[in-house]
């Protein structure tokens, strides 16, 4: 063996040893892999708020169903709409099943749209499932404006639609709905928190907004019960899953004029459909993946989980299995034209012309 071959052989041995140190050996028969260990749930959110409560609702069930009943703690890594946590999980943690990502739904969409600061490939994450995936968006306006038909809505120019910030989910949904409903020169006003948007509507500072119907009606049931808002159209995610009491609303895709607009709706619906995904980093051993996926399946099948989830979050659980979530991500449209079109709705410029 000459000097070059010797160097190559040594380098190969070093690489194999390094990989063995990085990825743990797991016994197929191990029923106590997690015994005496701590599992970290990396939360792509700050402490407090509904997203945090969703994660806290899962933590005790991970302890219950992971073999060996480990200690489960939450590590908050907020920032960049979930990018910071996803980058950390993808690049910095040991793929041994002791660190599980509790990601924000936007993590997948941000990467597919090629946004800045992405240091991960969403197709290489190992998906475990999501405790919720029903994410409808509905457009409504103040009833005192008298816009009780789509014809009246389309005829009124300059309707002020409120939002939190440019690119935020409700902002983008509002622009999509305004576009598909052919609203005349809508004015998108941002800079509000969620509760501030409600107050601004009541004061007449805004004319309408897009929001998840479950959030709107839990905070303000009188808006529907007493007819204080007119409800115009809905984006169903998933398609066909009707929201109680708003079943009569037209679905956004019925207003699509061509295949490109249908692909745009599919892209948005798919991105929203990932819910709040739980993931493992690439390279996690198959045996560990199987254990964690089995545990997540048991969590969602536990009859105590839905009640506990709703108690903490004030929202019903709508679990998505690992296989279902993996398929949704894989099926998200990736063509450049559709992605670029959606970016226009998430941005600050005027709406595209139809």
* Structure-token match 């708003």, residue found: 246
Q: Are 37 and 96 in contact (CB under 8 A)?
A: no
Domain positions in the chain: 30-133+274-318, 137-271+337-346
Radius of gyration of the chain (CA): 23
User: Which class for 172: exposed (0-12), middle (13-18), buried (19 or more C-beta within 10 A)?
Assistant: buried
* Structure-token match 């409700």, residue found: 170
Note the CATH number of domain 30-133+274-318. Answer: 3.40.190.150
| Identical fold between 30-133+274-318 and 137-271+337-346 | yes
Architecture of domain 137-271+337-346: 3-Layer(aba) Sandwich (3.40)
The pair of three-digit structure tokens given for residue 304, joined into one six-digit string:
């105590």
Euclidean distance between CA atoms 112 and 122, whole angstroms: 8
pTM (two decimals): 0.77
Q: Are 276 and 285 in contact (CB under 8 A)?
A: no
DSSP of 245-292: T-TTSPBGGGG--SHHHHHHHHHHHHHHHT-S-EEE-TT--HHHHHHH
* pLDDT tens series, the chain, 354 aa: 444 444 434 443 344 334 344 444 554 445 789 999 999 999 998 888 778 999 999 999 999 999 999 999 999 998 887 899 999 999 999 999 999 999 988 899 889 988 889 999 999 999 999 999 998 999 999 999 999 999 999 999 999 999 988 888 889 999 999 999 999 999 999 998 888 999 999 999 999 999 989 889 988 999 999 999 999 999 999 999 999 999 999 999 999 999 999 999 999 998 999 999 999 999 999 999 999 999 999 999 999 999 999 999 888 999 999 999 999 999 898 999 999 999 999 889 999 999
């Amino acid at each position: 063996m000459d000097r070059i071959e010797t160097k190559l052989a040594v380098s190969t041995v070093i690489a194999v040893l390094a990989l063995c140190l990085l990825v743990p050996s797991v016994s197929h028969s191990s029923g106590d892999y997690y015994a005496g260990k701590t599992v970290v749930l990396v939360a792509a959110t700050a402490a407090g708020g509904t997203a945090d409560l969703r994660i806290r609702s899962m933590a005790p069930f991970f302890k219950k169903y992971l073999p060996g009943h480990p200690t489960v703690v939450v590590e908050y890594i907020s920032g960049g709409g979930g990018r910071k946590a996803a980058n950390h999980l993808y690049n910095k943690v040991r793929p041994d099943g002791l660190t599980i990502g509790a990601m924000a739904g936007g993590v997948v969409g941000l990467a597919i749209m090629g946004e800045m600061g992405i240091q991960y490939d969403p197709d290489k994450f190992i998906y475990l499932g999501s405790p919720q995936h029903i994410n409808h968006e509905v457009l409504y306006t103040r009833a005192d404006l008298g816009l009780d038909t789509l014809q009246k809505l389309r005829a009124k120019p300059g309707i002020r639609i409120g939002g939190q910030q440019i690119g935020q989910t409700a902002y983008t949904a509002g622009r999509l709905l305004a576009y598909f409903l052919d609203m005349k020169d809508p004015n998108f006003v941002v800079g509000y928190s969620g509760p501030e948007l409600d107050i601004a509507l009541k004061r007449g500072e805004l004319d309408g907004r897009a929001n998840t119907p479950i959030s709107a009606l839990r905070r303000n049931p009188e808006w529907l019960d007493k007819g204080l808002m007119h409800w115009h159209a809905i984006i169903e995610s998933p398609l066909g899953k009707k929201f109680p009491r708003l079943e009569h609303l037209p679905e956004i895709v019925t207003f699509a004029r061509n295949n490109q607009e249908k692909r745009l709706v599919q892209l948005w619906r798919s991105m929203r459909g990932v819910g709040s995904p739980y993931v493992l980093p690439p390279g996690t051993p198959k045996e560990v993946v199987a254990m964690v996926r089995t545990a997540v399946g048991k969590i969602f099948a536990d009859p105590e989980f839905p009640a506990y989830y709703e108690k903490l979050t004030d929202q019903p659980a709508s679990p998505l299995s690992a296989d279902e979530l993996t398929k949704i991500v894989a099926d998200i449209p990736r063509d450049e034209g559709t992605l670029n079109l959606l970016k226009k709705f998430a941005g600050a410029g005027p709406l595209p012309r139809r």
